[in-house]
Amino acid sequence: MSEVAPALSVEAVSVDFGKRKKMRAVSEVSLEVAPGRTLAIVGESGSGKSTLARAMAGLVPIAGGSVSLLGEEFTKPRRAQRRNIQMVFQDPYSSLDPSSTVGNSLEEPLIVHERMSRPERAKRIAELLDSVGLPVDAARRFPHEFSGGQRQRIAIARAIATNPKVLLLDEAVSALDVSTQNQILVLLHDLQVQYELAYVFISHDLGVVRWLGDETAVMYMGRVVEQGPTERVHSDPKHPYTRALTSAMPIADPVGREERKRIPITGEPPNQFESFAGCIFSSRCPVATPECSTTPPPVVVDQAGGSARCHHIDAYPILASLPKHAATAALTSE
């Protein structure tokens, strides 16, 4: 690991939902992101990505583990820390008040967190709009007057208003068309370089993640099953679940698209209301053996600087020697 203290780190973080009957939405997740770097988190719907992000921001109580921002552990971030970690969501309407002008939306965090005079705030708002590629007069307009991509630029401007060190981007480009997505990704990249921002970039789209993520963590049912340098995770996935995910990446031809429909992994996942000792993927895994459903999988570290939790690293050469679509077929056949 790097010498620099991580901008954000979580250590064995768990999150439970439900009062009488507890559901473990995030289970003992340990991850970190260095200043100016991007940690991508991928996984299917319901795997706990947003819940983990909310735990990172102190927006949901953790049942165990710890969260540290700039080397300082917190359970609920104090105001001084809160300015250092900001979120951007898929739908800018959730962060932008439709009845407020853009200028007022951008001014709010400045009023809460900064000691600035009114003219200083006006100057800062103009700077922020400029840094996300919007004209200064946008400040006088309302969110509905902008396109989806422009609204996301406004949400990003608001998120960086207080010069945070960490941005949590939860499906921040998912609702946008591909060309707008690309523009926002370029903007995010520029801002990251300019302000040394650390990103936690959440997406179900592996293609997007490959472009932006330095490190990638793959979540399945609340657990991180694999993590490592993004290029390694994509080109040489170790965990059977990651292999299924990478093989499910969009294929241009219509025949491939038909096949994609069949990709959802079969088998029943374990009940998240009950604590489950074994590998969370065991009931759906093509290389599972009886011990997989009873014994926690070991963390197997690979040479490229990543790790996967699996009992059957030995089975990987077999799995890896199959073409990717065959590995997927193995996953999808009963």
Ligand X SMILES: Nc1ncnc2c1ncn2[C@@H]1O[C@H](COP(=O)(O)OP(=O)(O)OP(=O)(O)O)[C@@H](O)[C@H]1O
SS3 274: coil
Measured from the CB atom, the residue of 18 and 256 that comes closer to ligand X is: 18
CA angle 174, 195, 109 (to 5 degrees): 75
Outline where DSSP puts E strands in 76-165. Answer: 85-88
Least distance (Å) from ligand X to the CB of residue 44? 7
Three-class SS of residue 52?
helix
Give the residues lining the site for Mg ion (CB under 5 A).
50
Task: Verify binding: residue 48, ligand X, rule CB under 6 A.
Answer: yes
Residue nearest to Mg ion (CB): 50
- Which partner in Mg ion, ligand X, none is near 48 (CB below 5 to 8 A by kind)? ligand X
Ranges within 172-211 binding ligand X (CB under 6 A):
204
Alpha-carbon distance 157 to 139, whole Å? 11
Nearer to ligand X, 173 or 287 (CB): 173
- In the bound state with ligand X, the residue whose beta carbon lies nearer, of 45 and 117, is 45
Q: Does 142 bind ligand X (CB under 6 A)?
A: no
181: left (phi over 0), alpha (psi -120 to 50) or beta: alpha
| Strand order through the sheet with 223-229 | 85-88, 166-170, 198-202, 38-42, 215-220, 223-229, 307-309, 299-301
Q: Compare residues 191 and 221 and give the one whose CB is closer to ligand X.
A: 221
Select from 6, 35, 43, 109 the one that contacts ligand X (CB under 6 A): 43
Point out which span in 49-57, 109-117, 137-145, 276-284 binds ligand X (CB under 6 A).
49-57
Residue with tokens 């970190």: 32
Closest separation between CB of residue 91 and Mg ion, Å? 11
- How many residues line the site for ligand X (CB under 6 A)? 11
For ligand X, the binding residues in 51-80 under the rule CB under 6 A are 51
Eight-class DSSP state of 281: T
Looking at the Cβ atoms of 26 and 191, the one nearer to ligand X is: 26
Q: Tokens in use for 56?
A: 């990172």
Residue 170 dihedral angles phi and psi, to the nearest 5°? -100, 100
Binding to ligand X by CB under 6 A, coded x per residue (else -) over 16-35, reads: -x-------x----------
Q: Does 270 bind ligand X (CB under 6 A)?
A: no
Taking CB under 6 A as the criterion, the residue among 50, 95, 216, 328 binding ligand X is 50
Strand pairing category for 215-220 and 198-202: unpaired
Give the Cα separation of 31 and 205 in Å (integer).
20
Q: Which residues in this chain contact ligand X in the complex, by CB under 6 A? A: 17, 25, 43, 45-51, 204
